[in-house]
């Protein structure tokens, strides 16, 4: 069995998804879960891109100890210096440095000759090796590059000290056979190729990212790059969970394996979906809610007689449990703390005490508290980082089929002052959001509103995701509560507060640049 390294770029390429903007605490939460999942490398961000990215990469490198943390860098010394400062305290700091190699990119984007691109690539790798024990070099748009030129530049950067060579399908253009052929060509035509590990990075514009990644493994790649749930720019990246489970289920064919703890897949998928606001489609392979559902009578009959007739993957393999422990209002602090630890969360005694109060309050309203409910409570507590901005104190909504919906909201601003406003609307949510807009005194535009339940049953928690814009800037927010309208209000306030934080960071960056 060949060992395939998993390079997770959820926090870098995944965060480039339209409408996704994770803060430091959210990135740390995802990084901790990726560590529990067992990925080999976490690409935590692009340190030179912004102060926020630098701080996030640095914090993740200092926190994660059981896998390598890397950052992206252009072939520029200042980028490499920023990456080293952010990553130097990591357990195994590594750099991911790239430059474009396709004719169209070299001519129109870089405005460099092929010889200049080779020289720049070699210099950047050689410079990076002064600091980083492991340097990964990527040929951006490799799949539209001239193959003899690609072989030449790869040979040169290996001589300069590169440890991993990444062949990205940057625009999601290539087919599985063509992609495998590129790896085979390089293995035959790069004389020092045996010194390095070959990596595959695929985008899903034509829906072939996972198929291309598996084709690369067949052709000799020993590292696969992708994201949880396949999120990413445009149509996204290869879905890590799909590649890993395909290798496990079809190990007879691929003769390759990863070190992922597959039972953590569903929990990781849920966390990324919650924090990014990107809902997993029900029919999504491996992690969609319909992935293990059977409606056809013939299928149901077969599964009841013998599961393997129609079920090639057991739900338990990826962490979908049908008998998860349920807590209730009579559960004590010890059982509560134990279950949190079993879910993989390390909380301080102060955090446990605060959460236990919220748990008891929820248990008074909801008969059974599931793992999903607990995780929602934990995330709300740990990721509530906007206490210095607007806080929701109370809402009151009046609605009737023959009445005009009316909402009254009370907020506390950043200085501790109460702000109260009322408004009407065509529906309850519109009335609520009109009242919030008046209270904030900001021309906020609602771009997207989505709601889903946490668990099932009429007493399930509601989770609302919104996207708003203000002065041409966008931010997303989420809110969880047993009441749909309360969750809606929390999501709106969360999005506005995030916008203030983002704007504050931009102002700080502008001042630092002066």
pLDDT in tens, 343-353: 878 788 888 88
Cβ–Cβ under 8 Å, residues 90 and 64: yes
Question: Where residue 295 falls among pLDDT bands split at 50, 70, 90?
Answer: very low
Q: Is 434 annotated as a binding residue?
A: no
Query: What is the arithmetic mean of pLDDT over 479-493?
Result: 93
Q: Is 237 annotated as a binding residue?
A: yes
Higher pLDDT, 157 or 472: 157
The CA distances from residue 92 to 62, 82, 95, 222, in Å, are 11, 17, 10, 18
What are the helix (H) ranges across 194-234?
A: 209-218
Question: Where residue 323 falls among pLDDT bands split at 50, 70, 90?
Answer: very low
Cβ–Cβ under 8 Å, residues 478 and 496: no
What is the pLDDT of the chain when averaged over all its residues?
Answer: 90
Q: What are phi and psi of 91, to 5 degrees?
A: -65, -35
pTM above 0.75, yes or no: yes
Rounded to whole angstroms, the Cα distance separating 275 from 258 reads: 26
pLDDT at position 384: 66
Query: What is the arithmetic mean of pLDDT over 61-77?
Result: 98
Query: What is the arithmetic mean of pLDDT over 332-342?
Result: 85
Task: List CB contacts of 504: < 8 A, sequence separation 6 or more.
Answer: none
Considering only CA atoms, which of 225, 219, 283, 218 is closest in space to residue 250? 218
Give the DSSP H or E segment for 446.
strand 445-454
Rounded to whole angstroms, the Cα distance separating 247 from 2 reads: 11
Q: Of 129-143, 196-210, 327-341, 431-445, which range is least confident?
A: 327-341
Query: What is the arithmetic mean of pLDDT over 99-115?
Result: 97
pLDDT at 191 over 80: yes
Q: Of 145-159, 210-224, 372-386, which range is least confident?
A: 372-386
pLDDT at position 377: 82
pLDDT at position 300: 47
Cα torsion for 268, 273, 274, 276, to the nearest 10°?
120
Higher pLDDT, 175 or 472: 175
Q: Of 179-183, 186-190, 427-431, 473-477, which range is least confident?
A: 473-477
Rounded to whole angstroms, the Cα distance separating 437 from 431 reads: 10
Of all residues in the chain, what percent carry a pLDDT higher than 70? 92
Rounded to whole angstroms, the Cα distance separating 9 from 238 reads: 10
Q: Is 205 annotated as a binding residue?
A: no
pLDDT at position 306: 62
pLDDT at position 327: 80
Considering only CA atoms, which of 180, 87, 171, 80 is closest in space to residue 121? 80
Sheet holding 391-398, edge to edge: 391-398, 406-412, 418-424
DSSP track, 10-70: TTTTGGGSTT----HHHHHHHHHHHHHHT-SEEE---TTT-HHHHHHHHHHHHH--SSEEE
Higher pLDDT, 499 or 301: 499
pLDDT at 161 over 70: yes
pLDDT at position 303: 47
pLDDT at 298 over 60: no
Question: Where residue 299 falls among pLDDT bands split at 50, 70, 90?
Answer: very low
pLDDT tens column, 241-289:
999 999 999 999 999 999 999 999 999 999 999 889 888 999 999 999 8
Q: Is 55 exposed, middle or buried (0-12, 13-18, 19+ CB in 10 A)?
A: middle
Q: Is 417 annotated as a binding residue?
A: no
Residue 417, sorted as left (phi over 0), alpha (psi -120 to 50) or beta, turns out to be beta
Q: Of 31-45, 127-141, 226-240, 452-466, which range is least confident?
A: 452-466
Task: Tell me the helix, strand and coil percentages in the chain, rounded to 5.
Answer: 45, 20, 35
């Amino acid at each position: 069995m060949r060992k395939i390294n998993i390079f997770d770029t959820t926090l870098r390429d995944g965060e480039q998804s339209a409408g996704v903007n994770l803060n430091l605490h959210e990135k740390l939460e995802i990084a901790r879960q990726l560590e529990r999942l067992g990925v080999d490398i976490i690409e935590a961000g692009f340190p030179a891109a912004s102060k926020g990215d630098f701080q996030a990469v640095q914090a993740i490198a200092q926190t994660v100890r059981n896998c390598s943390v890397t950052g992206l860098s252009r072939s520029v010394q200042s980028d490499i210096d920023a990456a080293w400062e952010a990553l130097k305290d990591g357990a195994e700091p590594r750099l991911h440095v790239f430059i474009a190699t396709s004719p169209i990119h070299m001519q129109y984007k870089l405005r460099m000759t092929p010889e200049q691109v080779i020289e720049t690539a070699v210099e950047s790798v050689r410079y990076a090796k002064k600091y980083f024990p492991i340097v990964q070099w990527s040929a951006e748009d490799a799949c539209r590059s001239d193959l003899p030129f690609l072989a030449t530049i790869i040979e040169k950067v290996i001589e300069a000290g590169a440890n991993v060579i990444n062949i990205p399908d940057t625009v999601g253009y290539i087919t599985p056979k063509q992609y495998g052929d590129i790896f085979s060509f390089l293995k035959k035509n790069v004389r020092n190729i045996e010194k390095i590990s070959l990596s595959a990075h695929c985008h899903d514009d034509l829906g072939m990212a996972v198929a291309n990644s598996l084709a690369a493994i067949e052709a000799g790649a020993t590292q696969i790059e992708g994201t949880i749930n396949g999120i990413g720019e445009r149509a996204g990246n290869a879905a890590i969970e799909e590649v890993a489970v395909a290798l496990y289920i079809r190990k007879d064919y691929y003769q390759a394996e990863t070190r992922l703890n597959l039972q953590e897949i569903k929990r990781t998928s849920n966390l990324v979906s919650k924090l990014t606001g990107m809902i997993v489609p029900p029919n999504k392979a491996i992690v969609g809610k319909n992935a293990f559902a059977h409606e056809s009578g013939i299928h149901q009959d077969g599964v009841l007689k013998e599961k393997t007739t129609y079920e090639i993957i057991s739900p338990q393999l990826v962490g979908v449990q049908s008998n998860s422990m349920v807590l209730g209002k009579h559960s004590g602090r010890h059982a509560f703390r134990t279950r949190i630890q079993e879910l993989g969360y390390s909380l301080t005694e102060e955090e446990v005490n605060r959460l236990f109060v919220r748990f008891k309050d929820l248990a008074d309203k909801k008969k059974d508290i599931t793992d999903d409910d607990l995780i929602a409570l934990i995330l709300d507590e740990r990721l509530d980082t906007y206490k210095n901005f607007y806080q929701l104190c109370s809402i009151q909504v009046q609605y009737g089929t023959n009445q005009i919906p009316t909402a009254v909201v009370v907020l506390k601003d950043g200085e501790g002052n109460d702000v109260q406003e009322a408004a009407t609307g065509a529906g309850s949510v519109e009335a609520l959001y009109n009242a919030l807009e008046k209270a904030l005194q900001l021309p906020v535009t609602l771009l997207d509103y989505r709601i889903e339940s946490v668990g099932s049953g009429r007493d399930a928690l509601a989770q609302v995701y919104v996207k708003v814009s203000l002065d041409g800037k966008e931010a997303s927010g989420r809110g969880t509560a047993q009441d749909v309208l309360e969750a809606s209000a929390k999501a709106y306030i969360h999005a506005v507060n995030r916008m203030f934080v983002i704007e504050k960071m931009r102002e700080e960056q502008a001042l630092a640049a002066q």
